[in-house]
Structures are given as structure tokens and as C-alpha cells.
Chain A
Amino acid sequence: MADKKTDSKRRKLLVGFLQGIGFSIIGGVVWSAIVNENKKDPLVLRPPGAYPEEEFLKKCIKCGLCVIACANRENIPFDRQGNKMVTLKLAAPGDGKPLGTPYFIPRHVPCYMCIDVPCAFACPTKALDVELLRNKKGEVDINKARMGVAVIDYNSCIAFWGLQCDACVRACPLMHKAIYIDMRRNKRTGKHAMLVPVVDPDYCTGCGLCEYACPTDKPAIFVLPRDVALGKIGKHYVRGWMEAQENIEEKIKEREKELQKWQPKIPEDYLNTEDLLNE
């Protein structure tokens, strides 16, 4: 009798445990699906000093201290209705961005590139890390921010019609570096120049002041995350005219060594086999 009792007790415990495991798996799958859907937004723009998205999402605790630093910074501009121009927002449900994380939409409010970078310094988890903003001298430099890169749709850019518009160039905090004016021949009139904007991704911080300034209905210049907008060449193409001379010589030597190891089959060897000769 006692054995049976303990048996049924044990059985009950086991079934209860299995139920818990079963429900946990159901819950875990649903939970994971929600999180996985929510954490993917390839077009989200992060504040300066943010780690790459995957690392950023691990580290961001969603406290909003960067947003508060942004909202309470010095010399904050006001819009025409008298509202503060707060760049950063915390994603709420319905925004379509990873929940609770900071982001900005340059067409609404661009990043004003505060030289003291209050948002990055406010981050308690180092999801925004000022170490990523240090220049060669070791100073924190907002121009080292890489929030995204400006991309121009020249079909909707009026400068490519031949109209004089340099709104984006003038708005750029790194004028003539991140965006410069390229003079091109106006084929339509045959006698005028077109002054068209060109983005240099090596300098562009992705602040979006150009996107905000663009006069077209939907901006012809806009910021995209760098890994979305930029290609990657790979190591097998070398610009001999740009690399330092020593490097080139070293590379040539390396390549020669590689070539020495590689022994090609000579056609005479493999075409004219003995058999063929005998025939």
C-alpha cells in the first residue's frame, strides 16, 4: 500500500514537472517569435557611439537616459510650434522598432552633432560607448560618429536637373568633406554647369541634417544604416596607386611566392602523352 502511495505521489510530481516543461516550451516558442520579430529592423538609426546592432541590442537596457540627455541638452532648437527638437526617441509599441531602444528619424529631427555628445556619455551600460568616438588624438569627437550614411537618389535631386540647390551641402556639419559639390557639364543646355552634391562615406556621420534640409517633398538625400547602404570590395582588388609603395612591394613579393608554389601544367605535357606520340 505504502509503495503504491509513494508511486502515485511520484507520478503526480513527474507529470506536474512535465506539464511545466511542456508549457515552458510553448511559452518559449511564442516568446521567441515575438522577440525575434521585434528585434529586426535593418533600417533603424542609432545614436552616436552605438555598437553594431546585434551587440547594441544586447547591451541596451532601455533606460532612456540618452533620450533625456538629448532632450535636456544645451542650446536645443525649437520648431515653429515652440516644441523642443528632441532627436532621440525611445521605441514604443507600434513604432516598429526594437522595443524601448533609442532611435531617430532624421526627416523629423536630425542629430545636431553636439560636440560634448551628451547622449553617449549618459549611457550606463556602454551600449553607446564614447570610446568608439575617439579620434587619433584620443579626444571624444562627434565627427567620428557613424550613425549611418547619406544616400542620394539623383533622379529626384533637383541639382541633377541643373537647378542650383546646395541645401544639403550647406546643412552638412562637415561641409565639403562629407558632402561636396561636383561640377558637371549640363548636357541639356550645353553651356551651363550642374553643381551636384556627392557624399563621401569616409566622412559622413549619418546625422541626417542634409535629409532634414532637403527641399523635395520626399527627401532626395536620406540616411541609411551603413551596412545597408555600403558595399564591400574585398581584399582581392588592390588600388596600387593609393597604397603606400612599401606595402605594394611586399604584396607583390607575397604574390610571387604564391605563384612559385603554383606549378601549372604545361599543355605540351598533358596533351602529348606517350600514347599520342606512339600513334
Chain B
Amino acid sequence: MSNTVAVTKSQGRESERTKPFLARNKYLILRRITQIGILSLYIGGNYLGWKILQGNLSTSKFLEVIPLSDPYAVLQMFFSGAIVGVDVIVGALLILAFYGLIAGRAFCSWVCPVNMFTDAANWIRVKTGLHREEKRINIPRSTRYWFLVLGLILSPILGVPAFEFISPVSVTHRGIIFGIGLGWTLILVIFLFDLFVVKNGWCGHLCPLGAFYSLISRPVSLLRVGYDLNKCTECMECKRVCPEVQVLWMIGKENKPVLSGECTNCGRCIDVCPENALFYTLRFKKSGGDKNET
């Protein structure tokens, strides 16, 4: 046992030395650029009248014509008994198709603004080694699916889209674009929750929107993180950084890509892997490991 631990540690450090900074943070940097870029387009859309992306993550107009809508919000509206315009239905289907067929749960790590705050909390956690001393509070990761269903049950009872009235995702994104008011307190709550209460507490345990995207990207979404068992040295760096650790169950065990819908395709594991055993791939592609074996 002690032997493996020693190996793990030395290799982890080794990877940080051998991989240059940019390669070690490639997807992290790309993600931040995407997140901030999308936000800037929205902000320009409101204050400067840019026509590229107008609205917010609930519903927006892309290039003035193409509607894009949050499918979970539209679903809640259906449940609340509203007859809505065709635009949002088309928009919801487009988004559904994009994440459900292609990008997986990439919304959470590449678009959602809350991700930047929860990642910051997580970064402080890792840097300070908080998890070593903290009192563990267990909230199952399945809680988010209960919230997801609860949002749909409450919508007809309250007669309004229920989650849209409390969603920190909407409050944050809307706040950044249109003025946040006291909305920053909600961001603070989530930040502190993730920092002191539960690791990846909001995004990985509670958020029903993340749960929704997990469900829709489970069956067919193309973009996946591939894994090559033969290259893997089991340094476990990937598991250290992954916000949804349970999706990496195959590390050191099976030569399989990450197929769980809960994987946010953030690519952090790909960044930190010193052996390039993890990489973006497509769902129905044969993995590199198989080719080597045959």
C-alpha cells in the first residue's frame, strides 16, 4: 500500500513538472474564455445593442433569428399550464438537440456562470487542503434529481415555473447582464456552501438544471472523454480534480470511455493527465486501447 502511495505522489508531482503550464491548463483556459466570451456577448447585447446573443440563458436570440431556450424552464412552463410561443419551443428543442446529441453536459462547465464561482471554491478547497480536516456532511448526489422532479411537481401547484423563481443560475446570469441587486448574496451562499459545507455541493449535488442536462446527455451525446487503460499509470490526478468523481469509476479498472451523463465534459482530467491517457473522443468510436490490443 505505502509503495503505491509513494508512486502516486511522485508521479503526480512529476506530471506538474513535465507538462508545461499551457498544456496543463489548456481546457481550463478555453473554458474560461468561452464562459466569459459568451457572457460578454450577452452584456454587449443589452448595453450596446450587439445582435450576436441577446437575452439570457433562459431564452436568447442568436444572430437575431435563431431562438435558444432553456428546455428545463420551458418544461416547467408546460407543467404550470402556460401556452407559450413557438419561438421558445423551437429554441428549447435546439438546445436539447445540441447538448443531448452532441455536447453532453457541457453547459455546466462551458457556459453556466455559476461554474466560475463553484470552481473558485473548489480551487481554494484543494489549495488549502480543507477536506483533510473538515467535518464531513453527506448529501447524496442523487438529491438533484429529486429537486428536478420537485420543480416539475411544484410548477402546476404554484401556477408558475417553480425553479425559475429561485434558480441561482438564472439570478447570476441575469444579474451580470441586467443588474444583480441583492443577487450577489445568493452567489455568496453557493460559494460558501461549496467551500465549507459540501465539496462540489451545488453543481454536483443540488442543481436541478445540471441534473436535467445529465439526464438528456446520458443516452446518445457524442462528445465524451475517452480513457486508455494501457497508458494510465494510476496517478489518480484525474480523480483529484474531477467535480463528478463517480463518473471516473473505470480509472485503473476498465478500458472504457466516460459514458455517464453526469460528466460535464470540462476536460480538467484531460488537462492534468501526465500520460495523455484521457482525451476527448466520440461515443461510438473505438477507443485507442482496443486498437493497441488487436
Contacts and interface: CB of A to CB of B under 8 A. Distances in A.
B77 A61 contact: yes
A181 to B, nearest CB: 39
Contact of B59 (A35, A61, A95): A61
B56 interface: yes
Question: Chain B at the A interface: mostly helix, strand, loop or mixed?
Answer: helix
A99 interface: yes
Contacts, number: 148
A215 B224 CA distance: 65
A124 B59 contact: yes
A125 B150 CA distance: 23
- Interface centre among A38, A61, A94, A126, by most B CB within 10 Å? A61
Contacts of A27: 146-147, 150
Contacts of B150: 24, 27-28, 31
B82 A92 contact: no
Contacts of B162: 31-32, 35
Interface string B24-61: 00000000000000000000011101000011101111
Contacts of B160: 35, 39, 57-58
Contacts of B77: 58-59, 61, 125
B165 A39 contact: yes
Contact of B178 (A54, A67, A125): A67
A90 B165 contact: no
A44 to B, nearest CB: 14
A72 B179 contact: no
A59 B61 contact: no
A100 interface: yes
A123 interface: yes
B263 interface: no
A119 B136 CA distance: 50
B183 interface: yes
B84 A99 contact: no
A170 interface: no
A124 B81 CA distance: 17
Interface string B50-84: 00001110111100000101100110010011111
A20 B164 CA distance: 22
A98 interface: yes
Interface residues on A, range: 35 or more
Contacts of B147: 27
Contacts of A32: 154, 157-158, 162
Contacts of B171: 92-93, 99-100
- Interface centre among B55, B83, B175, by most A CB within 10 Å? B55
A36 B158 contact: yes
B108 interface: no
A68 B59 contact: no
A62 interface: yes
Contact of A63 (B56, B82, B165): B56
B166 A100 contact: no
Interface residues of B, number: 55
B85 A100 contact: no
A20 B185 CA distance: 28
B124 interface: no
B198 to A, nearest CB: 15
Interface string A39-70: 10000000000000011011101111101100
Contact of A100 (B47, B157, B164, B185): B164
B91 A124 contact: yes
B59 A65 contact: yes
B46 A62 contact: no
Given A58-B159, A124-B69, A64 B46 contact: yes
A34 interface: yes
A241 B135 CA distance: 80
A123 B91 CA distance: 13
A100 B164 CA distance: 9
A226 interface: no
A100 B180 CA distance: 10
Contact of A38 (B47, B85, B165, B175): B165
Contacts of A89: 178-179
B186 interface: yes
B69 A35 contact: no
Given A57-B160, A61-B69, A28 B154 contact: yes
A94 B181 contact: yes
B67 A61 contact: no
Nearest to B151: A31
Interface of A: 20, 23-24, 27-28, 31-32, 34-36, 38-39, 54-55, 57-59, 61-65, 67-68, 71-72, 89-95, 98-100, 123-126
18 contacts: A32-B157, A35-B158, A38-B165, A39-B160, A61-B58, A61-B73, A62-B58, A63-B58, A64-B174, A71-B49, A89-B178, A89-B179, A92-B179, A92-B180, A95-B181, A100-B174, A125-B82, A125-B84
